[in-house]
Amino acid sequence: MNLQTLPEPTLDTPETNDEGHDLALLQLGQRLQAAGYRFTTVTPLTHQRVNGREQNRKARSLRDVFGWSRPFETGLLDEAELEGLLAAGVLRAHAGMWASEVRWSSLDDLMFVHSAFPTVAHDSVFFGPDTYRFAQAIDEHLRTSTHPIRTAVDIGCGSGVGAILIGRARRDASVLAVDINPTALRFTAVNASLAKADNVVAYHSDILAGTTGEFDLIVANPPYMKDTQERAYRHGGEQLGSELSVRILARAIERLAPGGSVLLYTGAPSVDGVDLFLEQARKLVDRPDLAWSYREMDPDVFGEELETETYQAADRIAAVVLTVTRIQ
């Protein structure tokens, strides 16, 4: 199987492709898929709680290694596979045992590689409950929309879930998966190859700056927390993390083809009952040439953040979906 690669590097497209590492990931994904591997990725706090149990300190299965990110002893993998994954940088030594640098998560019949737990590096690629909600919103849009999709783009693609779902549902469409994170682009390329989504291309771009033309569908699941460490996979900027989502919305609207839609899944912090994201988004979408809808998929996510100093004024954080359509 050909591993999808990134476009030829340009001045703003850094060299990111390590073919040996990525081929090893693809082969590992195929091996896990053939073995019937399944794993649902939970929130970081739940992951921490489950791994903190005494009986979970050490991996006993492939799910423990590649889902729960637990260290394992020699013997759980056969010697040749262990050596190959170590040589490719997929596994590493850890406290006298071994550990995976990646996780594999299930989404229906698909599998996605992303960063191991805990996601502390600035180039971490996240997959979790938000991803499942984002996927549900995309599936619903694809089921109900009658507008043909010839071109689509997933902004801040991460592991590539949005682009791959669109690419598989609309095989004739040309689908871009864009991100500023080279690790995300590489993981997306691996995941697209594993999913046989040959019409998906991973491409380096800051929002839509590196792309041209109009799109029939633009989707995004951007970081939406205000992160004091400003980690790229988590930090959404000012307005309690909603700044980036608003910036993406503004740029996406201007690149919509007639009849095309933006589907933005994000977090909406409320202060004194005021939805900070919606308050800003209304200024962009209340236009005669646009139709839009807004709904909460979950009224209360990441409640533990309300205990931090950053969120002392917030009432809650909701998971929301904003859909904006350019009227033909």
- Split at pLDDT 50, 70, 90, the class of 294 is very high
Residues 191 and 311 in one domain: yes
Q: What does DSSP say about strands 290-298 and 316-326: parallel, antiparallel, or unpaired?
A: antiparallel
User: Is residue 275 one of the residues assigned to a domain?
Assistant: yes
Domain count, the chain: 2
Which of 55, 80, 115 lies at the terminal end of a domain, its last residue?
115
Place of tokens 């423990």: 64
Decide if 26 contacts 196 (C-beta within 8 A): no
Averaged pLDDT, 297-303: 95
Residue 31, pLDDT above cutoff 70? yes
Decide if 72 contacts 99 (C-beta within 8 A): yes
User: Is residue 8 one of the residues assigned to a domain?
Assistant: no
Averaged pLDDT, 113-137: 95
Per residue in 184-194, pLDDT tens?
999 999 999 99
Decide if 190 contacts 6 (C-beta within 8 A): no
Residues 139 and 285 in one domain: yes
pTM of the model: 0.92
User: Is residue 192 one of the residues assigned to a domain?
Assistant: yes
Residues 241 and 140 in one domain: yes
Residues 140 and 239 in one domain: yes
Which of 87, 115, 143 lies at the terminal end of a domain, its last residue?
115
Taking the CA atoms of 247, 132, 62 and 26 in sequence, report the sign of the dihedral they define: negative
Residues 108 and 140 in one domain: no
Residues 175 and 287 in one domain: yes
Please name the helix (run of DSSP H) or strand (run of DSSP E) that holds residue 152, with its range, or none.
strand 151-155
Per residue in 88-124, pLDDT tens?
999 999 999 999 999 999 999 999 999 999 998 889 9
Per residue in 221-277, pLDDT tens?
999 888 877 777 777 788 888 999 999 999 999 999 999 999 999 999 999 999 999
Q: The CATH number of the domain where 220 resides is what?
A: 3.40.50.150
Separation of alpha carbons 193 and 179, rounded Å: 18
Nearest to 179 by CA among 210, 206, 161: 206
Separation of alpha carbons 139 and 132, rounded Å: 11
Three-state secondary structure call for residue 172: coil
Which of 93, 115, 137 lies at the terminal end of a domain, its last residue?
115
Q: Which residues contact 271 (CB under 8 A, 6 or more apart)?
A: 240, 313, 314, 315
For residue 124, count CB atoms less than 10 angstroms from its CB and return exposed for 0-12, middle for 13-18, buried for 19 or more.
Answer: buried
Q: Which residues contact 147 (CB under 8 A, 6 or more apart)?
A: 216, 259, 260, 261, 325
Q: Find out whether the peptide bond into 118 is cis, omega within 30 degrees of 0.
A: yes
Structural domain of 63: 19-115
Residues 95 and 160 in one domain: no
Q: Which residues contact 143 (CB under 8 A, 6 or more apart)?
A: none
Which of 12-16, 26-30, 127-131 is least confident? 12-16
Place of tokens 């988590």: 234
Residues 157 and 103 in one domain: no
